[in-house]
Amino acid sequence: MNTIPELIRTVPLQHYLVLSTCLFFIGMIGVLVRRNIIIVFMCIEIMLNAVNLLMVSVSAYRGEASGQIMVLFIMAVAAAEVSVGLAIIVMMYKNLKTTNIDLFNQLKG
């Protein structure tokens, strides 16, 4: 039975880099084009998880632990962030009865 860093190292590092970059840009495009707030949230989570994947793989390859600790921090902070975000959505839904982003255009100059 291999240890987990060895298992991670069975795939070349370049593959992880390409995969996480692709994931990140998929998430980014999702944030920019999708109109439903919940989906936008999920796209932000995809972006964060792309970063997590990159950090973990590099950490395993370089034998350097701080990247994995950073991943734990990112997860904790993302959870806190999403809880605030969902509270904001509930607050908006009570006022407007919708989660479509296009209706939130009251503020303009």
Determine if 67 is a binding residue for another protein (CB under 8 A).
Answer: yes
Considering only CA atoms, which of 91, 29, 27 is closest in space to residue 99?
91
**Nearest CB to another protein, comparing residues 1 and 95:** 95
Which class for 30: exposed (0-12), middle (13-18), buried (19 or more C-beta within 10 A)? middle
Among residues 7 and 77, whose Cβ is nearest to another protein?
77
Q: Does the footprint of another protein cover residue 54 (CB under 8 A)?
A: yes
Q: Which of 58, 49, 101 is nearest to 79 (CA)?
A: 49
* Minimum CB–partner distance for residue 1 and another protein (Å): 27
Give the residue ranges of DSSP H helices in 9-65. Answer: 13-33, 37-62
In 3D space, the residue among 100, 46, 54, 53 whose CA is nearest the CA of residue 78 turns out to be 46
The least distance separating another protein from the CB of residue 5, rounded to whole angstroms, comes to 14
Q: Interface with another protein by CB under 8 A: which residues?
A: 17, 20, 24, 27-28, 31, 37, 40, 44, 47-48, 50-51, 54-55, 58, 62, 64, 66-67, 69-70, 73-74, 77, 80-81, 84-85, 88-89, 91-92, 95-96, 104, 106-109
